[in-house]
Amino acid sequence: MPLAVVARHIRLGPMPLSSRFAGVLMLAVSTAAGAQERRQLSADNPQAQLMGYYAAVMQFTPTGLHDPAARLELGAEATYIPSLSERDRLVGFGGTKQEDTNFCPVFPRLRGSRAAGSWVVELGYVPPVRACGVRPHMISGALLRRIPVSSRWGAVVRASAHYGTLDAAITCGESAIADPADQTCFGGLKSDDRVRPLALALDGAFAFAGWRARRLEPYAMIGVRREDVRFDVHFVNSANVLDDERLGARLTRLHAAVGAAWGPTSEIRLGAELYYAPGALLTLRTRAGYALRAHR
């Protein structure tokens, strides 16, 4: 509620000016705090599962390990997003309303990595460019250390974080507001919803270094991640009533991956990874990078 409207609902009679201001301020603060209350969903809630599905899509994984013979790599990656069925998206209003989430078939990300001895710092970035009806803006980071085990095998320990926002018409898209059968969305305005994922992960991997002459390095990885996903609804229905529900889900889950990196030349580095998050998805990630200042 705006401060001016709050003031009109308070009697300003003989009360001293300082007391009147304090009363207005306290009511305004309490009103704003109430509007920001967030309903936390249980881990087995269908809406939480849907939020966790896309959080797993955006997880910042190696997608092919950094070339140990390179100092700096710059490139990009792409993650395949499997489409969800109507049943999988039937999670709103206690399982009676479908959410519109099948936007882009691919999640892209710019990424770069910098090595210093056995340590590697990785950064990922998704710029705020609208595509497929979605406007993301996200940043990711990871710290990785290689630990030699033998002449052919190496261990990898990696900690990563991912945070950002994604704006899209998830609650009520154009087709929903034009569908008379949709009792929630029909006749309203297209929703302007926001998803805010935060994910922390710790991974361990074994990499095979016995094919260095072929510039091929396969690896297997297992890890655990903690996700805090927030979903802010913003939809005005046909009666001009605003739905601004705030939802949240906190999930702790395991994941695993197998992948490989291959260098067709000393500068080019390609990567592929089959990523599996139990209870969420199985997907494929690919990456292409260019190595700068490679050791000769």
pLDDT digits (tens, 9 = 90+) for 42-89: 998 989 999 999 999 999 999 999 888 888 999 999 999 999 888 888
Q: Is there a single domain that holds both residue 163 and residue 251?
A: yes
Position 209 pLDDT exceeds 90: no
pLDDT for 153 equals 94
pLDDT of 4 > 70? The answer is no
Let me know: does 81 contact 283? Beta carbons within 8 Å. Answer: yes
- Same domain assignment for residues 159 and 179: yes
| Structural domain containing residue 244 | 41-292
Residue 70 and residue 117 in one domain: yes
Which tokens is 64 given?
A: 């092919």
Count CB neighbours of 30 within 10 A.
11
Residue 211, pLDDT > 80, answer yes
Q: What is the mean pLDDT of residues 192-198?
A: 96
Q: Is the pLDDT of residue 160 over 90?
A: yes
Residues 8 and 66 in one domain: no
- Give the pLDDT score at 293: 65
pTM: predicted TM-score of the whole model, two decimal places: 0.82
Domain identity same for 1 and 129: no
Give dist(CA 203, CA 197) in Å, integer: 19
For residue 85, the model assigns a pLDDT of 83
Within this chain, do residues 122 and 29 fall inside the same structural domain, yes or no? no
Cα distance between the two ends of the chain: 65
Given its phi and psi angles, is residue 7 left (phi above 0), alpha (psi -120 to 50 degrees) or beta? alpha
Which range is least confidently modeled, 27-41, 206-220, 252-266?
Answer: 27-41
Please tell me the total count of domains within the chain: 2
Q: Are strands 246-262 and 39-41 parallel, antiparallel or unpaired?
A: parallel
The answer, yes or no, to whether residue 283 has pLDDT greater than 70, is yes
Q: Are residues 129 and 234 part of one domain?
A: yes
According to the model, what pLDDT value does residue 25 have? 42
Dist. CA 99–CA 96, nearest whole Å:
10
Position 27 scores a pLDDT of: 38
State whether 2 and 113 are in the same domain: no
Higher pLDDT, residue 96 or 99: 99
Q: Are residues 12 and 159 in the same domain?
A: no
Task: Give the Cα separation of 110 and 78 in Å (integer).
Answer: 9
Percent share of the chain, pLDDT over 70: 85
Assess whether 132 and 181 both reside in one domain: yes
Alpha helices (H) in 3-145, listed in sequence order: 3-8, 17-35, 46-57, 92-95
d(CA 257, CA 272): 10
> Do 15 and 137 share a structural domain?
no
Query: What is the model's pLDDT at position 111?
Result: 97
Same domain, 104 and 241: yes
What's residue 161's pLDDT? 98
